[in-house]
Amino acid sequence: MKGIVFNLFERFVDEKLGPEAFEAIVDATDLVTKEPFVGPGNYPDADLFALVTTTCRLHRITLVDALRAFGRFAFDHLAKTVPDLVSCHAHPKPFLMSLGSIIHVEVKKLYPSARPPEIVSIDLGPGKMRLVYASPRCLGELAYGLLEGVRDHFGAPFTIDVAERTTDRRWTLELAFAAEQDAA
């Protein structure tokens, strides 16, 4: 996982749990990485999972709540890495239709060593779409939280329904946009 994700997790903990919390979480976690996480670096997925697990244990948060809240927090920060690809859309639906085919492809150009998840977007007609998430990292709850961040960002309400969870690696999410907001 890219250092940018670890850096965002630190900012998330600082903002939600206070300035001393991240250091205490690192001290209580057995990390493979001993040096500070830097944005362009690559670090073991296991280190991120370990930091999230310790956060849940020390702060009595469930894993689902932690991953969703982190995703919701992270979206705006990730969006700033490709600002034009986000601001060119006035509505979340066309933006989300471009997620796997444009956004994560651009991420691979910016960071060739990144391994973003596979995301397929399917247009289900006015006001509806489906996202199929697949990744060996099994971070569907993070994807759910990122979608909540998309909703905050565009200020256009939509419901998120986990329609199918074939395995933890593959999730199907169905989104329904408020009728008056459907610009796609």
Question: Which of residues 58 and 97 has its CB atom nearest to ligand HEM in the complex?
Answer: 97
Question: Which of residues 54 and 117 has its CB atom nearest to ligand HEM in the complex?
Answer: 117
Question: Which of residues 18 and 36 has its CB atom nearest to ligand HEM in the complex?
Answer: 36
Question: Which of residues 24 and 114 has its CB atom nearest to ligand HEM in the complex?
Answer: 114
Give me the residues that bind ligand HEM (CB under 6 A), please.
1-2, 4-5, 78-79, 81-82, 86, 99, 103-104, 107, 114-117, 119, 131, 133, 135, 137, 139, 142-143, 146-147, 150
Q: SS3 letters for the chain?
A: CEHHHHHHHHHHHHHHHCCCHHHHHHHCCCCCCCCCCCCCCECCHHHHHHHHHHHHHHHCCCHHHHHHHHHHHHHHHHHCCCHHHHHCCCCHHHHHHCHHHHHHHHHHHHCCCCCCCEEEEEECCCCEEEEEEECCCCCHHHHHHHHHHHHHHHCCCEEEEEEEEEECCEEEEEEEECHHHCCC
The least CB distance from residue 104 to ligand HEM, in Å, is 6
The least CB distance from residue 8 to ligand HEM, in Å, is 9
The least CB distance from residue 54 to ligand HEM, in Å, is 19
The least CB distance from residue 101 to ligand HEM, in Å, is 13
